[in-house]
Each structure stands twice: as structure tokens, then as C-alpha cells.
Structure 1
Amino acid sequence: MWDTHSVIFYFYLSFALIALWGVAQAWHSQTRTETIHPFKSFVHLLAFYLSYLLFPLFFFSLYSGWSGHYSSQQSIFIFLLSCVLIYARFIEPHFVRVQHQQYSLNPEQKMQRPVKIALIADLHIGLFSGHERQLKTIVKKINQQQPDLVVVAGDWTYEPENKLAEELETLKQIEAPVYSVNGNHDEQYPGPPIQQLLRHALSVNNVIDIEGQIVEFDEFRLLGVGDLWAGKTDMRYLPDLPQDKPWIILSHNPDTVDMVPKLPTRPLMLSGHTHGGQVELPWLTNYIMKKVSILGHKKGMYNHENADVFVTVGTGMVGVPFRFFVPPTIDIIELI
């Protein structure tokens, strides 16, 4: 019964059945997606669902090495490749980590008490990520940190379904005010036209859209700035505003920092957009990042002429359904 020929037959049978299931799931999911590129969405979803083929491939590599069906080198190569891809697809994207960073907003005067800001970005609710389990994990970890406020630096979506308000319902459990701006995927650059869908989903789930608005805090002001690729980043008016407090600027694309004018107190911009590369591969990731961020932003803190910018790697995925050595992250910025 379980000779080599039988195992190979059942392997190909399982492979074919999973492939058919993947194609059907991708097609069905695409029909519920808000997109202007149905075929592109279908191809992306195909990669998402066909990744389940990695599991029979993993077990077959073990068997083929043991039985001699493949050479030991071939079996080891397939085994290692399937392990890496399984980790990047099914494990790391669900390991939401919390990272801490202290920042002196005004070096000449310390804060009366530290202010804790939870920064998240690039949830990309839609094709690959931002589903209920991950959102619950994000909300739980944010609440454990007890931040004074939560800021979301855009790219909420990645061609989501039209039930976006229901998918975001978990956000109501965040025990701090949540402020947000849009990113390029929320603004038809290259996302679909979902501004009205997103605006409704955020408002009914207690998320405050602050694009073009100022939020007053005791010792600083928070300014929401629109997306760079959408052409919504004019900040020439900033020097004309009151300067008795330092500024925190929330804007999706970190390259927006180049447009911050000189102010009496150096502002801090909080951004996302880059995903930290999402998949960390030697040389290749850094090469691709040059097209994502003209100014060379990837992750962490950067100092520029008129402002500093902190770039979070975000929590979601686009392009390919993998994260590798760039786990989804909640950044806690403690102002001191």
C-alpha cells in the first residue's frame, strides 16, 4: 500500500486537490473585493492560497530523502526552501512584536510626565492581512502597553472587502484615543476608490481621522498630514501656526519629512509605508527599497534638516503574502 509509487500518487493527488481549492478560493475571494484590477487581485490571492501547497511539499521532501526518490542534496534543498517559505507565510506574519523607543521632543525642556504613543501602520486589511485574529492580537498588545494615545500612519487597506466596518470592529476595544491619516493604498495610489467606505468604517469604530487637523495636548500638538503620493502634503503654513509647543506630525510616507519647513522646535514625524522591506534578503531588499523611499528610509529613526522621522515596519503585507525577518511591529514612542 505505502510503497514509493503509492506515496508519489497520493502526493500528486493532494497537490492537485489543494491547487484546485486554492484557485476556487482565490476566485471567490476576488469577487468580494473592492478592486479596479480584478485579475491582479486574483493573481495575488492565488499566491496566498496556493502557498498551502508548501505543506505537502515539506512532507514529501522528508519522504523522498528517506526513500531515495530524490538525492540527499535535492531533498535538503526542497526541505529548507519549504521551511523558509512556511515560516515567512504562516508563522512570522502572526508574531506581532512590541518595540520601544524614547524620544526627547524638546531637549531644552523635559516633559512634565512621559507620554506614551503607540504607533502602528500598514495594516493592509484586505487580500493578505489584517484579519480578525491579527487585529485582536494588535489590540491586546496595545492595551497591555497602556499608551496615552494610538496613531495609525495610513495604509489601512489592501483592496478590502465591502464589509470593512465589520472587520475593524475590534478596534473599539482599544483603551486610548486612536488618531489616523490615510496612506497611498487608501487614496487610489494604487488603491481602489474606497475613501467613503474607509471613512465610514473608521468613524463607526471610534477612529479619528486627523488629516489636515491639529489635536492639542498639554505639551505638544499633533498634526495629521495627507499622503505624499496623493499630493496632500503641503506644510508651508506650519511656521504661521502657534509655536509655543513642539509638533508631532503623523504622515504615511516618511519622505514627506523633506517638506517640513524650519520651525523653532524640531518636530518629530511618525510614518510607515516602507514595511521595513517586508522580506529581508541580502542586497535585493535594499535595492527595492530605493524605489519605495527616495530618501532611503527603511525602518527606525532618521534625522533630517528640519525634522526627525520615525518609520515603523507596520503589521500587514502587500505584493506577496510573506514577511521574513521583518515581523509585524507595534512601536511605542515614549516622549520624555
Structure 2
Amino acid sequence: MFPTLTISSIFYLSFIVLAVWGISQAWLSQSRTETIHPFKSFVHLLAFYLSYLLIPLLFFSIYAGWIGQFSLHESIFIFLLSALLIYARFIEPHTVHVQHIQYKLGQDKAFTKPIKVALLADLHIGLFSGHERQLKTIVKKVNLEQPDFVVVAGDWTYEPENKLAEELSILKDIQAPVYSVNGNHDEQYPGPPIQALLAHALEVNNVMDIEGKIVEFDDFRLIGVGDLWAGKADMRYMPDLPQDKPWLILSHNPDTVDMVPVLSTRPLMLSGHTHGGQVELPWLTSYVMKKVSILGHKRGLYKHANADVFVSVGTGMVGVPFRFRVPPTIDIIELS
């Protein structure tokens, strides 16, 4: 058996090596990031990369408890906390779920055939998420569902690197039309002015920006509405549009539903923005959510005076590089 000092030294050395690696990676990533707050981005990236220290800490807690360096209670506490954070950092964010719902959009007349829509939201490609591994998983799962079309309800970015078009190239493998609107992070609320960078990345990767545009389908119309926080969510003109078909509205912030005017048929809005809380903790998540959605949206289907809104928990992360009890989700909505 190795002497106690040698084994302890191996752990300490691993902490030092990982810390140096994490700091260097955070610095390099920040240098490639489109941001107006370099230090803030660096701190966020430090949290992302230094989280790898949790892995040796997990094993060290067992060893330190065994040799008596930690008390039994200290060892158990550090082990459980490390295991929880490792799950929230390295496991749940990569466990992409698929959720199915059915919704009757054609209240007066049934559709000629059901339409399957894949809803993505909040990919937040940038500091924490949306990189090659996750995007490949998302594209694979979307294609397995064979939707008629895909909609992306904004927040594509989270201070992305300057190679955004290259990162999004995986989306070319989606075997259905992809329609999109921007979210608040894409519109500099908060975030850097990356509208031109994002517009180019979407265009070269076959994603159609439909903000302020209408897409015609046999039994309904899809309309893209701009972001609420960016002041682009005016829908007062909608009653003047043709009303012979029901409307499917794509808009990032679910609170936008409060601005939908009275229409001939009840529309459905598809949104994201909330992440479902991203980290589900008692009391704390509910407090934070009050700042995210004034109308109390979190996840799932909500009914309002003039429209219904479905809120996706999305797939990405902001603020902290964790998801806990809110796994990234692709929503498959069957319209009839």
C-alpha cells in the first residue's frame, strides 16, 4: 500500500493541475467570446471549467474519511454535495428528453391531417452549452421524430464564440424546415450585439428567420413575433390579417401572450425563455422565476384570455452551468 502522504499528494497535485487547466481554458475561451463584459465572461467560464475539480473531490472525500482526515459527517456531506453537483453539471445537461403533447388548434374544423411540430428553445450556444456533442444529440432526436417542421423559440446564444456559423452547421442535418425567432439574449438584453453574427450563422445553415413574417400551411398559419424585452412584440395588427385559418405564434417570451389581441379563432403561442427554472430547488427557484416571467409561466401549457401558450424548458443554460430536475427537452407538439 502506498504511504498516506503519497496518496494525499496525488489528490493535491490533481487539484492543482485541474485548477491550472481550468483557468487557462477559461482565459482562452473568453478571448474567443463575443462579449461586452470580458471579466464577467471569464468568471462564468471559470465556474464552468473549475467544476472538473468536483470529480477528484468526490474521491478525496471518501479517502479523507477513511484515513480520518475528515470526520464521518464531513466526509458524507462533501461526498453527497460533490455527487449532486457532478450530476447537475456533467450528466443532466446532456440527458436530452423528448416530450409529446397534443393540441387541437383547428377548433372549428379538424385539420386535413395532424401536423407534427418539433419545438426547440434556449439552445444558448456560448459559454456553457449548445456545443457539438449536445447539438448532435438534439438533431438526432429531432430526426427520429420525423416532424413536419421545426421551430426554435429564440435565445440561440449566450455570449457565443466568433465561430457561431461553424458551430451551427450541425443543424443542416435536420430533415425538416427550421423556422426561428430571436430571444432576449440574441437581442442584447442582456448580451453583446451579435445580431449580425447570428443572422449570418442562421442563413448559411438553412434556418429561416420568420420574425414579422407569415408561413402558410394548408390548415393554419405560422407567424413569428419578436422578443418582448427588445420591444418587438407588438401584435395589434393581427386582427387585420386574414382570419380564415387559426394562428400558430412563435415568440420567445411566454409573457408575450398577454399582448395577443382577440382573433376569430384561439391561437397557440410557442415559447421558451424560462428554462423551467433550470435548477429546481424549493423556494429559491420560485423566487427567481418571478423575475423571469411576470405572469408566472414556468413550463407546459397555460390558458390566457385571448390565446394559449406552451412554454418549453429548452436545452441550454445561463447564469450557472447546471441543470437539476429540469433536463433539456425537445417538445413534439401534434396539432390537429
TM-score between the two structures when normalised by the length of structure 1? 0.99
Residue by residue over 1:67-126, the C-alpha shift from the partner in whole angstroms, topping out at 9 and shown as x without a partner, is: 222111111111100000000000011000100000010233221211000000100001
C-alpha separation in 2, matches of 1:205 and 1:307: 32
In the alignment, structure 1 residue 159 sits paired with structure 2 residue 131? no
Question: How far off is 1:8 after superposition?
Answer: 2.3
In the alignment, structure 1 residue 220 sits paired with structure 2 residue 220? yes
In the alignment, structure 1 residue 58 sits paired with structure 2 residue 31? no
In structure 1, the partner of 2:74 is 74
In the alignment, structure 1 residue 89 sits paired with structure 2 residue 89? yes
Once structures 1 and 2 are overlaid, which stretch shifts more, 207-216 or 16-25? 16-25
Question: How far off is 1:217 after superposition?
Answer: 0.4
In structure 2, the partner of 1:269 is 269
Alignment-mate amino acid for residue 130 of structure 1: G
Question: How far off is 1:191 after superposition?
Answer: 1.6
Alignment-mate amino acid for residue 120 of structure 1: L
C-alpha separation in 1, matches of 2:209 and 2:108: 31
Question: How far off is 1:10 after superposition?
Answer: 2.1
C-alpha separation in 2, matches of 1:7 and 1:287: 44
C-alpha separation in 1, matches of 2:93 and 2:165: 23
C-alpha separation in 2, matches of 1:262 and 1:65: 65
SS in 2 for 1:326: coil
Residue by residue over 1:38-89, the C-alpha shift from the partner in whole angstroms, topping out at 9 and shown as x without a partner, is: 0000000000000000011001011122222211111111110000000000
Alignment-mate amino acid for residue 45 of structure 2: L
Is the 2:48–2:128 Cα contact (8 Å) retained in structure 1?
yes
Alignment-mate amino acid for residue 269 of structure 1: M
Alignment-mate amino acid for residue 335 of structure 2: L
Once structures 1 and 2 are overlaid, which stretch shifts more, 10-19 or 164-173? 10-19
Question: How far off is 1:264 after superposition?
Answer: 1.1
C-alpha separation in 2, matches of 1:152 and 1:191: 19
C-alpha separation in 1, matches of 2:135 and 2:17: 31
Task: For structure 1, list consecutive stretches of 5 or more residues without a partner in the other structure.
Answer: none
Map of 1:137-286 to 2, 5 A cutoff? 137-286=137-286
C-alpha separation in 2, matches of 1:333 and 1:279: 24
C-alpha separation in 2, matches of 1:167 and 1:157: 11
C-alpha separation in 2, matches of 1:87 and 1:43: 21
C-alpha separation in 1, matches of 2:3 and 2:265: 74
Alignment-mate amino acid for residue 221 of structure 2: R
SS in 1 for 2:119: strand
C-alpha separation in 2, matches of 1:144 and 1:251: 25
Once structures 1 and 2 are overlaid, which stretch shifts more, 58-67 or 203-212? 58-67
Q: CA RMSD in A?
A: 0.9
Is the 2:117–2:151 Cα contact (8 Å) retained in structure 1?
yes
Residue by residue over 1:264-298, the C-alpha shift from the partner in whole angstroms, topping out at 9 and shown as x without a partner, is: 10000000000000001011101100000000000
Is the 2:107–2:265 Cα contact (8 Å) retained in structure 1?
no
Residue by residue over 1:164-213, the C-alpha shift from the partner in whole angstroms, topping out at 9 and shown as x without a partner, is: 11100010010100000000000110021111110010000000000000
C-alpha separation in 1, matches of 2:130 and 2:78: 30
Residue by residue over 1:100-158, the C-alpha shift from the partner in whole angstroms, topping out at 9 and shown as x without a partner, is: 00001023322121100000010000100000111010000000000001000000000
C-alpha separation in 2, matches of 1:273 and 1:192: 18
Once structures 1 and 2 are overlaid, which stretch shifts more, 246-255 or 67-76? 67-76
Alignment-mate amino acid for residue 12 of structure 1: Y
Residue by residue over 1:239-285, the C-alpha shift from the partner in whole angstroms, topping out at 9 and shown as x without a partner, is: 01100000000000000000000111000000000000000101110
Is the 2:250–2:271 Cα contact (8 Å) retained in structure 1?
yes
C-alpha separation in 1, matches of 2:84 and 2:259: 40
Q: How many residue pairs were aligned?
A: 336
In the alignment, structure 1 residue 45 sits paired with structure 2 residue 45? yes
C-alpha separation in 2, matches of 1:209 and 1:89: 32
TM-score between the two structures when normalised by the length of structure 2? 0.99
In structure 1, the partner of 2:120 is 120
C-alpha separation in 2, matches of 1:106 and 1:216: 15
Residue by residue over 1:215-239, the C-alpha shift from the partner in whole angstroms, topping out at 9 and shown as x without a partner, is: 0000000000000000000000000
Map of 1:324-335 to 2, 5 A cutoff? 324-335=324-335
Once structures 1 and 2 are overlaid, which stretch shifts more, 295-304 or 102-111? 102-111
Alignment-mate amino acid for residue 230 of structure 1: A
SS in 2 for 1:85: helix
C-alpha separation in 2, matches of 1:76 and 1:109: 61
Question: How far off is 1:32 after superposition?
Answer: 0.3
SS in 1 for 2:302: strand
* Identical-pair percentage: 79
